[in-house]
Amino acid sequence: MSGKTVAVVGATGLVGTRMIQVLEQRNFPVKTIKFLASERSKGKTLKFHGETVPVEVLGKDSFKGVEVALFSAGSGTSKTFSPCAAADGCVAVDNSSAWRMDPNVPLVVPEVNAHDIAKHHGIIANPNCSTIQMVVVLKPLHDAATIERVVVATYQAVSGAGIKALDDMMNQVKDDLAGREPSCQVFPYPIAFNCIPQIPQSDAFTDNGYTSEEMKMTNETQKIMGDPSIRVTATTVRVPVHTGHSEVVNIETKKKLTADQARAILSKAPGVVVQDDPAHQIYPLARDAAGKGETFVGRIREDISHPRGLAMWIVSDNLLKGAALNAVQIAELL
């Protein structure tokens, strides 16, 4: 594979820096790389394979000669600049919510629906972080037994809300331990020593009582799995964890799967690691998953309330498989 001209949009952000690291670690064939960001990052430099690369201010002409652009700069930026990239013959792999439910834009998790990449018209959407780790585990079970319903509750790390949110949490921890009233710069309530059942923090609840994050999990799961008949209900919660989203997932299948059958299926699934020996306190932990590219699953058990139900615990690094790694995997397939 010959070297490619690659751009990273939002290069100075949490996910953007992870994208750069993943490109390096996986030896993506880069001939030339451009780091693009907002005016605030003007004058900054970043390292790539030991070389110092200046950060350029993102503009509509930034993509001339670029073959692949990895976007992680928010939906507004993507809506404006992804079409510019596509118009210049570049393929935009976008990490925001801007294009995910557009019927003309493939929404891709390589382990699940890599074939959809071929349908792109210059833009490919990277799914929501909490959806990615769930469907990586659900797809092999769906192929084996047809999932009819999913009930999921998430425990999402603060890094999913960005650098300012992490700073907010650490400052609140210091305030709490010093006996001071914690201030809130990002979330509506303190996240330190707390759980907030509202993601994203800036959104109002929708008319049906769900947040947009919860509806993303419903709609994106159906699109990625290619099966709109799968019923999904989600409750998404922000918890005081630095990195690594965790999920309690309960599924109902058309054909019964035992816990042992599910473990056997998942032990062979791409991108999945089974950690399931509760007798020896072995199960996935966000702390252990941070920095790793796999999705971890454990606590697999048959649901005592449903004859064809399974319950499980799914954990993954939200900045890697949930964002940067998935985007680079898409670029590799391109």
> What are the residue numbers of the active site?
129, 245
Alpha helical stretches, state H, 49-208: 75-87, 110-113, 129-145, 163-177
DSSP β-bridge partners for residue 123: 92
Q: Which of 210, 216, 220, 222 is nearest to 147 (CA)?
A: 222
Structure tokens at 275: 């950690």
- 22 burial class (0-12, 13-18, 19+ CB within 10 angstroms)? buried
| Cβ–Cβ < 8 Å for 191, 168 | yes
Distance CA 314, CA 320 (A): 15
Helix (H) or strand (E) run with residue 129 in it: helix 129-145
For the chain, give the longest Cα–Cα distance. 61
User: Which residue type, as a one-letter code, is found at position 3?
Assistant: G
Structure tokens at 44: 């900054």
| Cβ–Cβ < 8 Å for 191, 169 | yes
The beta strand positions in 165-230, using DSSP E, are none
Backbone angles phi, psi at 263, to 5 degrees: -60, -40
